Structure 1
């Protein structure tokens, strides 16, 4: 292991762009896949499930999406423990290979007409593996970046994880549009959509190349001697804060409903064409992709809680009007409604990655973040699109997406309200009680020693 005082591993206020790119590219790929799955849910349902009942096939396809969040939760915990035990870098190299391979494999699955039941089984396996790997990416990448960055720029640097996710959605939407325009609708539905998934393979290899040269963050290098043989048991001593952080995931429900369900919603409820429904997310995400770093900077200056509260409040106030606008029909209404619905997304995602890793001692930081993600991801990301689809198709509730988002936003607001200010803590001296007291700082509400 290299000396932590070597110039090229010392934490600075300006991390190298290659390091940031190496860390966020994996999250880019996993969100790219998630967005593709949502954008192409109709042709996927047709390809991998029996013909004859389009609604049942659609529900089954979205159920596969929801099941993948079970494995994503498990993956966040597995790779979190791995990152604490054997290193952040080793964990991230393993996860990027798995996320790229499983994403590309979806583009190679034979159709139901060709392989019968083997087809949906392979789809489930690929989505489970992709979810497992993406759980590791979403858990460990913010931890690595947060430990790598200086205190004053931690929110800004970790916000690039969210920015990469937005960019992944943007590229997925652009890919869908380009492929859709390159071939006719019949060819697109038959096999054209598969090319978008195959792109993940070379992207993953490039990310692996970038990660191969990474050094462990200095904060982790100094804490390796304190790594616990049973990190899960140690992390669970902080269950109150883990539960609170997991509930913050409720503020991210909007993102998953919008980019997994919204295109399908526009086709079914407003009569928008399938090609136009793929263009709408492209426009929406292009308006938002630059805001995550700005929100990260806002959190560094005024505290993480402020953007989270503003984002939750925006969901409560603007989501229902947004869906009502979209329901009026037409392409412009779909875009304007989407803008209202998405106001909350950069406010929440620009802060969440910093706050998700700042409460925990270094030796169990990734494990604790993985446990919080295990709970929050499945409940607030995997289940809502399935619930919304059941409510809209079975019970004829076209505004179900708005009600689900508002309900989860209220829960997220409650979780965010009582959070302590973490922007000035020193990650090397975060105490062992996430309830708010530490050896260095016994005052309630302060999770660790404040760096000067």
Structure 2
């Protein structure tokens, strides 16, 4: 396969498969670690915050979740710059070690009863480090695979990032269910949930090993040999409009974060489900998503990223409110059916968004620009919504507020997707000229 410099790429098909496997495995492990916090919000709030006011403890726990997205935004920018300056491989190796250490650290924090204020302080520090590392992962991993892929298969290969993330969330939910079956409810709340966090340490070492054996993408190696790295200021001047548009695509991801961070808690509060039953619901829902991500990636390669992204935004605006109404009606079946309606948009968005997020910037600043977009998008559309909906639900008495928050974010993402260039035709080695050609063609019609 020719490289951007015209030389022949000596990497074999097994080598490309190993690359996809190593990057996807690492993303699976990182999302497993991140998903645990959202799935175990209830026992975490009991363990690390003062007893006596369950609602206040829950709000504080979700606030810690939101604060971690500040560091996630910073991590996206830091690792984006790192990936452009010293290599994609070094960035994703570092991120997986940090997320493993921080996740296992949460499992070792003493309770509030034992350590008083030190307990929530340590929780915040671990979540900040975890978010920082996750920002690097979500920024650099799609860039790595996208640069490794051919133009005709870029959407398909980067969709495995989303599939691996869904599998990681599925594994986290399954771990919670298994531990819940092995111990009684009081033991689970006392220490059983910590086991899932401690598993993160050996998993991170496995991911680090496979990523250590990776080679840099050919497109990055070629760009590093011929072009000097541009500063953050230069990147903003060259790509500011596209960075803002891509960051607004984050509105299409709010459904995922609200569903898997807040939905189990919502079911306990608003329906008649127990905590154990509520943990089962994400397990069922996520298992339905995994297979669709690569299919949507292929759809994006055939028709462009805009089609699945816009369909996903439209699905959120149409089906989320009916989904929450069904979930509130009570019963396990209603919770699953309501969740299915809410999640119709998720595979459409996640299967295409990783390719769209990396295709519109020059190679020498691709990860940096993606990090800036991540800084804006993740905090605005991933960190804040779960906290906002919990406040609106518990303090303002608006049980359907999650639906309206998702619909508003989806509308922003829909408009952003509408204005995207057709990235199927973009050559990563000549991004700006490819986009300009599309604009000139459109203007001449």
Q: TM-score range by the shorter chain?
A: over 0.9
Assess, with a 3 A threshold, how the Cα gap between structure 1 residues 92 and 445 changes in structure 2: closer, same or farther.
farther
423-432 vs 42-51, which moves further: 423-432
Tell me the equivalent position of 2:37. 37
Kept in 1, the 8 Å contact 2:281–2:336? The answer is yes
Tell me the equivalent position of 1:449. none
SS of the equivalent of 1:193 reads helix
Q: CA deviation at 1:425?
A: 1.5
Kept in 1, the 8 Å contact 2:230–2:364? The answer is no
Q: CA deviation at 1:230?
A: 4.4
Tell me the equivalent position of 1:392. 393
CA distances 1:103-142 after superposition (whole Å, capped 9, x unpaired): 1111111111111111001100000000000100000000
Tell me the equivalent position of 2:143. 143
When the two structures are aligned, how many residues end up with a matched partner? 438
Kept in 2, the 8 Å contact 1:249–1:380? The answer is yes
Kept in 2, the 8 Å contact 1:47–1:111? The answer is yes
SS of the equivalent of 1:263 reads helix
Q: Which runs of 5+ in 1 are unaligned?
A: 447-452
418-427 vs 254-263, which moves further: 418-427
RMSD: 1.8
Partners in 2 of 1:193 and 1:260 — Cα distance? Answer: 16
Assess, with a 3 A threshold, how the Cα gap between structure 1 residues 265 and 231 changes in structure 2: closer, same or farther.
same
Q: TM-score, normalised by structure 1?
A: 0.94
Tell me the equivalent position of 2:243. 242
Residue 193 in structure 1 maps to residue 193 in structure 2: yes
Kept in 2, the 8 Å contact 1:72–1:377? The answer is yes
Assess, with a 3 A threshold, how the Cα gap between structure 1 residues 442 and 307 changes in structure 2: closer, same or farther.
closer
Partners in 2 of 1:70 and 1:103 — Cα distance? Answer: 17
Residue 401 in structure 1 maps to residue 402 in structure 2: yes
Tell me the equivalent position of 2:282. 281
Tell me the equivalent position of 2:11. 9
Kept in 1, the 8 Å contact 2:26–2:211? The answer is no
Kept in 2, the 8 Å contact 1:312–1:413? The answer is yes
SS of the equivalent of 2:412 reads helix
CA distances 1:318-363 after superposition (whole Å, capped 9, x unpaired): 0000000001000000000000000000000000000100000000
Q: Which runs of 5+ in 2 are unaligned?
A: none
Kept in 2, the 8 Å contact 1:15–1:149? The answer is no
CA distances 1:349-394 after superposition (whole Å, capped 9, x unpaired): 0000001000000000000001001100000000000000000010
Partners in 2 of 1:382 and 1:15 — Cα distance? Answer: 36
SS of the equivalent of 1:50 reads coil
SS of the equivalent of 1:133 reads helix
Tell me the equivalent position of 2:155. 155
19-28 vs 58-67, which moves further: 19-28
Assess, with a 3 A threshold, how the Cα gap between structure 1 residues 343 and 197 changes in structure 2: closer, same or farther.
same
Partners in 2 of 1:59 and 1:164 — Cα distance? Answer: 29
Partners in 1 of 2:28 and 2:81 — Cα distance? Answer: 22
Q: CA deviation at 1:271?
A: 2.2
Assess, with a 3 A threshold, how the Cα gap between structure 1 residues 173 and 117 changes in structure 2: closer, same or farther.
same
In the TM superposition, 1:372-391 aligns within 5 A as 372-391=373-392
In the TM superposition, 1:257-272 aligns within 5 A as 257-272=258-273
Kept in 1, the 8 Å contact 2:84–2:229? The answer is no
Q: CA deviation at 1:15?
A: 6.1
Residue 65 in structure 1 maps to residue 62 in structure 2: no
Partners in 2 of 1:136 and 1:320 — Cα distance? Answer: 33
